[in-house]
Structure 1
Amino acid sequence: MGSSILFQVLERPATSLVSTLLIAVYLYITSHGIGYAEVGLNYDLAVQKLELWRIVTAQISHVELLHLLFNLSTLWSLGIIEESNGNGAKGGTIFYLQTSLVLLIFSGLVCLLLYHLLGVVLRREQYLNMTTVGYSAVIFGWMTILSRTGVASFSVFGLANIPMWLTPFASLVLTSIIIPRASFLGHLSGILVGYMVVSGVFDWLTLWWLVSLTAWSAALLVFHLVRTGRMEVPWLCMMPSDGAGDIETGVPIVRIVDGVLERR
C-alpha cells in the first residue's frame, strides 16, 4: 500500500507539489486566523483598489477544511493527466503545470468579469462584495478539458463515476449543495476557461511567454505590496545610525508609504 502511494507521488510530481502547497497555505491561514477578507477574490478590492494579487492568493487558499479535502480529492484524481504523456495525447508534468497556471490566472480574470457584468452592468450590487476562495476554478477547468479529450468517466469526490462530459456541471451542482458558501461564479469561470483552453484560445501562450508574464506579474505584485506598505523589506544596503532596526538582525526595516521612504 505504502509503495503504491509512493509510486503515484513519483508519477504525479506536479500534482503532489500543488497538493502540498494547498495544505501548507491552509495550515498557515488557520494558524494565523486569516479569513476570506484577507485572501479572497473580491471585485471591489481587486478592481477598485487594484489588489490584483488576490487572483492568486484566493485560488491557493482554503478557509474551510471540508472545502480543502474535496479539492484535494478531486485534484489527485485529475493527476492522471501527468501520466498521459504519449499515444499522441497531450499530457505530462510540463503540460499539466502550464495549463494549470493558465486556468489559475484567467479563471480569476473571468470571475472578475462576471462580477463586473452582474454588479456594474446589471446593477446587482451584491456581486461587488462577494468573496471567493479555493482551487476549485482550476479543478473545474481541468474537468472541462478532460471532458473534451475522450476520457470516458470520472470519479466525482470519490462518490460516483459519471460520464466525463457531465462531470463539470454535476460537480458544480454537487458542490453548491454540500458547501453552500462555495462560489458558483468562481466554479463557472473555471469551466468557461476550460472550454477556452480546448478551443485553442491560449495556444499562442507558449511556456516562455507564460513564464515571462508570470514573472512580470510577480514583480508588479511585490512592487504594489511594498508601495502600499503591505510588505516590509530588510534594507541590507543601509546600516542603522540610531540603533533602530530589526531586533534580531539589527538591520533597519524600510517601507514605502504613500510614495515616501520610511525607515524604522
Structure 2
Amino acid sequence: MAPRRGPNRGLETGVVLLAMELFNVGVTTIPPVTLFTIAGQVLLYVGTFSVPWEKWDVCISTDKVLSGHEFKRLFLSTFEHGDDMHLYYNMISFLIKGRSLEPRYGSTNFAFLLVILCSMTNIGYVLLGQACAHLFQDPYYLHTCAIGFSGVIFALKVLTSYEAPASTTMVAGTPVPTRYAAWVELIVIHLLVPRASFMGHLAGILAGVLYCKTFVGTMIDNFITGITGEPMVHDISFYHH
C-alpha cells in the first residue's frame, strides 16, 4: 500500500494556531509525555511519518473490530484526526490536562495511564456500538466509524474533575458543577456538532468513571506502580471507592 500522505501536507490553520499556543505556553514548561504525545500526533497529521494507511482506513467501528478482526483500529484510530481544527482543539484540551496530571502522577506513570485509558475507551466504543445496535435495532451503530483523541480527552476530563476541589465550571456559558462538566459537555457537543462522535466521547467518560470510582482504578494503579515502582498519587480520598 502506498504511504498514507506525503511529507508536504502544509501548515494548515489549526497546525499554525497549535504551534503558536505551544510556544506561547513555553515548550520547555510542557511535561515530556504530554509534549511527545502532542508532537507525535501533529507530525502524523502533517505527513512527516510515511505510514501505510489512510486515516479513514483505521477508523474504529464495532463491525470492523468484532467482525473484521481489525484490532489495529483499537490503537491507530486514536491518533488520527479528520482535519486541522479537529487536531487543534483536541491537542489544546490535552495540553491543559497533561500539564495538570503528568507532574502529579509522574511521567512514566502518566504514559502507562494514557495507554490504558486509550484501550478502555476504544474497547468501550466497540461495546457501546454493539449495545446500541441491539437496543435500537439499528445497524448504524455497528458501522459508524470514528477517529481522534477525543475519547481519551473525555476520560482525562473525568480524572481532572475528580482531582479538583468541589467547584463550578463554565460549559457553553452556563455554570455547572465541575464533577458533571464532562457529561454536560457531552450533550452540548452532540447538539452543536452533530458529526462529532457521541459514542466515542461517551466511551471516554465511562472509562474515566470506571477508573475514578470503581475497583478497576485500584487495579490499574497497582498494575502501573508494579511496573514503574512509582505510586500513583491522587488528591481526593474517595478515589476508587
TM (norm. structure 1) is 0.66
Residue 53, structure 1, aligned to residue 64, structure 2? no
Question: 98-107 or 184-193, which moves further after superposition?
Answer: 98-107
* Partners of 2:55 and 2:80 within 8 A in 1: no
Deviations 1:162-183 (A, max 9, x none): 6421321233234334533110
Equivalent pairs counted in the alignment come to 201
Q: 2:146 aligns with which of 132, 143, 155?
A: 132
Task: State the SS of the aligned residue for 1:41.
Answer: coil
What is the distance in 2 between the residues matched to 1:23 and 1:44?
28
Deviation at 1:45, TM superposition (A): 1.1
What is the distance in 2 between the residues matched to 1:6 and 1:104?
24
What is the distance in 2 between the residues matched to 1:5 and 1:104?
27
Deviation at 1:146, TM superposition (A): 1.6
* Partners of 1:145 and 1:194 within 8 A in 2: yes
The residue that corresponds to 2:60 in the other structure is 41
The residue that corresponds to 1:7 in the other structure is 28
* Partners of 1:30 and 1:63 within 8 A in 2: no
Residue 189, structure 1, aligned to residue 203, structure 2? yes
5+ residue gaps, structure 1: 86-90, 212-264
Q: Percent identical across equivalent pairs?
A: 21
The one-letter code sitting in structure 2 at the alignment partner of 1:59 is: T
What is the distance in 2 between the residues matched to 1:103 and 1:138?
6
The residue that corresponds to 1:201 in the other structure is 216
Deviation at 1:119, TM superposition (A): 1.5
Residue 81, structure 1, aligned to residue 81, structure 2? no
What is the distance in 2 between the residues matched to 1:41 and 1:123?
20
What is the distance in 2 between the residues matched to 1:161 and 1:183?
24
CA-based RMSD of the aligned residues comes to 3.1
Deviations 1:164-222 (A, max 9, x none): 213212332343345331100110000001011112314324138889xxxxxxxxxxx
Residue 114, structure 1, aligned to residue 114, structure 2? no
Rg larger in 1 or in 2? Answer: 1
Deviation at 1:70, TM superposition (A): 0.9
* Partners of 1:142 and 1:194 within 8 A in 2: yes
Residue 165, structure 1, aligned to residue 186, structure 2? no
Residue 64, structure 1, aligned to residue 74, structure 2? no
The residue that corresponds to 1:23 in the other structure is 42
Give the structure with the larger strand fraction. 1
Question: 190-199 or 147-156, which moves further after superposition?
Answer: 147-156
TM (norm. structure 2) is 0.72
* Partners of 1:62 and 1:133 within 8 A in 2: yes
Deviations 1:44-94 (A, max 9, x none): 1111010011011111110222211110110011021122x3xxxxx2212
* Partners of 1:146 and 1:164 within 8 A in 2: no
What is the distance in 1 between the residues matched to 2:202 and 2:81?
18
Residue 104, structure 1, aligned to residue 136, structure 2? no
5+ residue gaps, structure 2: 1-21, 229-241
